[in-house]
């Protein structure tokens, strides 16, 4: 922990009766930084946010804002900006009054408050909508107002809980661009962004905290986690990597996958002969009718608009039923039909060695951090 952190979770646990929603969670977020809490539904992301906002009381541990312990402080005294999925605007107030709500509560002078509201409307591109009521706005516009309202008090910390998940796909993409821009316009704020959507996390976050089973599993820069995933879970959850069994050939990251040898990125020196997993992104895999590569059978072909997703079953690789991989390719010209033999080509560079966790990792295992649980790292 550092003094300069805007937000600190210090070994926070939250239990609801028998359910542990958050276990021993520690995280620092600096001013100017956006951290995404990314994980599947039920992994504890919202609970972490609620503990910080003061909506739930930690069973143990502390939350700090700018170095001050606020664990027992009521939510309205924490001075945070909060945006949730369902906008939660006041239906009987105009857009301007919604945005100014927190300012009135803080007894800001009328003229100053009006100026601030204008500034916020401009920030979210809603200048002409101040007199409207929430019911007269689209979902995306309502969410912009909710963001403007959260920012009006100039909070040092902005919490966003799945803010785009109620919007349709196109609007979500547009709003994601806007949020990214907003992030860059707000250098004095720390942002904590809860999402189960990897694209949102990769687009917005400086760092991503991957959550699983109520615990923080991996934490790194968005690029770091994507390029060198520390765990199989993160490799698969962030970017849908294939995980292939591999054997280390030399310490620098040369590994064998069946009869094929590739140079992979490794988190540290590897132990020759060790069994590891290789994370390979679907768009880096090539599939051919013949030539070099791993012998496989094409078991599935799906058109996805921009590309085709092929599923190939690679025989052997020390797995009883073979190993199924996904490959995303721009065209299927020259490919045989589903059920026919193919050759799977792995990228010569760019795949990453990750931990080879036990097939059924327990929640306890998940807490062990890399590289301690990485079989084969020296
Ligand atoms: P996420 O935000 O990652 O979807 P949550 O933090 O909402 O996950 O929930 C974590 C776990 O805590 C889940 O198992 C969920 O069912 C449980 N949980 C959340 N809120 C409550 C509550 N108020 N009472 C009981 N269990 C809860």
Taking a C-beta distance cutoff of 8 angstroms, is the pair 335, 358 a contact? no
Structural domains in the chain, CATH included, are: 5-226 (3.40.50.300), 240-368 (2.40.50.140)
d(CA 310, CA 322): 16
Region 4-18: what's the mean pLDDT? 95
In the numeric block, which tokens belong to residue 368? Answer: 């062990």
Q: Is the C-beta atom of 157 inside 6 A of ligand 1? A: no
178 CA to middle of ligand 1, Å?
29
- pLDDT above 80 (res 364): no
Dmax (CA) for the chain in angstroms is 75
Of the ranges 152-156, 167-171, 365-369, which is most confident?
A: 152-156
Lowest mean pLDDT among 32-36, 50-54, 97-101, 318-322: 318-322
Model pLDDT, residue 355: 64
Q: Please report the sign of the dihedral spanned by the C-alpha atoms of residue 312, residue 314, residue 319, residue 325.
A: negative
45 CA to middle of ligand 1, Å?
8
d(CA 263, CA 129): 56
Region 314-336: what's the mean pLDDT? 88
In the numeric block, which tokens belong to residue 159? Answer: 């919490």
- pLDDT above 50 (res 363): no
Model pLDDT, residue 331: 84
- What is the pTM assigned to this prediction? 0.88
Region 310-339: what's the mean pLDDT? 89
Region 304-332: what's the mean pLDDT? 90
Which among 294, 347, 349 is positioned nearest to 316, based on CA atoms? 294
Model pLDDT, residue 349: 82
Q: Is the C-beta atom of 44 inside 6 A of ligand 1? A: yes
- pLDDT above 90 (res 230): yes
Query: What percent of the chain has a predicted confidence (pLDDT) above 90?
Result: 75
Whats the size of the chain, residue-wise? 378
Which among 129, 107, 109 is positioned nearest to 118, based on CA atoms? 129
Mapping DSSP to helix (H, G, I), strand (E, B) and coil, where does residue 13 land? strand
Q: Is the C-beta atom of 212 inside 6 A of ligand 1? A: no
d(CA 146, CA 144): 5
- pLDDT above 90 (res 105): no
d(CA 356, CA 275): 8
Ligand 1: atom nearest CA of 214 is 10
Q: What is the mean pLDDT of the chain?
A: 89
Q: How confident is the model at residue 297 (pLDDT cuts 50, 70, 90)?
A: very high
- pLDDT above 70 (res 374): no
9 CA to middle of ligand 1, Å?
18
pLDDT tens string 172-216:
888 899 999 999 999 899 999 999 999 999 999 999 999 999 999
Region 7-11: what's the mean pLDDT? 98
- pLDDT above 70 (res 356): no
């Amino acid at each position: 922990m550092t003094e300069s952190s805007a937000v600190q979770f210090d070994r926070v646990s939250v239990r609801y009766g028998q359910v542990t929603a958050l276990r021993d969670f520690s995280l620092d977020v600096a001013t100017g930084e956006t951290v995404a809490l990314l994980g599947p539904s039920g992994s504890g992301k919202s609970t972490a946010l609620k503990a910080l906002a003061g909506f739930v009381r930690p069973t143990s541990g502390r939350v700090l804002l700018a170095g001050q312990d606020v664990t027992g402080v009521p939510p309205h005294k924490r001075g945070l900006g909060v945006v949730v999925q369902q906008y939660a605007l006041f239906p009987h107030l105009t857009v301007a009054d919604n945005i100014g709500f927190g300012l009135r509560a803080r007894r800001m002078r009328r003229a100053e408050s009006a100026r601030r509201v204008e500034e916020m409307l401009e920030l979210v591109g809603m200048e002409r909508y101040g007199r409207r009521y929430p019911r007269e706005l689209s979902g995306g516009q309502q969410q912009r107002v909710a963001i403007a309202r959260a920012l009006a008090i100039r909070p040092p910390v902005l919490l966003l809980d799945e803010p785009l998940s109620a919007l349709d796909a196109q609007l979500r993409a547009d709003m994601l661009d806007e949020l990214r821009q907003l992030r860059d316009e707000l250098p004095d704020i720390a942002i904590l962004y809860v999402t189960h959507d990897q694209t949102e996390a990769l687009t917005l976050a400086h760092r991503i905290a991957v959550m699983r089973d109520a615990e923080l599993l991996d934490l790194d820069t968005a690029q770091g986690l994507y390029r060198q995933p520390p765990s199989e879970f993160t490799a698969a959850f962030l970017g849908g990597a294939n995980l292939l069994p591999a054997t280390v050939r030399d310490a620098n990251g040369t590994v064998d996958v069946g009869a094929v040898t590739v140079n992979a990125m490794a988190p540290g020196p590897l132990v020759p002969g060790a069994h590891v997993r290789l994370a390979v992104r679907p768009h880096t895999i090539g599939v051919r009718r013949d030539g070099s590569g791993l012998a496989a059978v094409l078991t599935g072909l799906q058109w996805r608009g921009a590309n085709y997703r092929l599923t190939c079953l690679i025989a052997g690789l020390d797995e009883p039923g073979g190993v199924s991989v996904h490959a995303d390719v721009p065209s299927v010209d020259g490919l045989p039909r589903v059920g026919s033999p193919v050759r799977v080509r792995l990228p010569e560079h760019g795949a990453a060695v990750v931990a080879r966790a036990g097939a059924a990792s327990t929640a306890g295992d998940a807490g062990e951090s890399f590289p301690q649980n990485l079989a084969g790292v020296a």
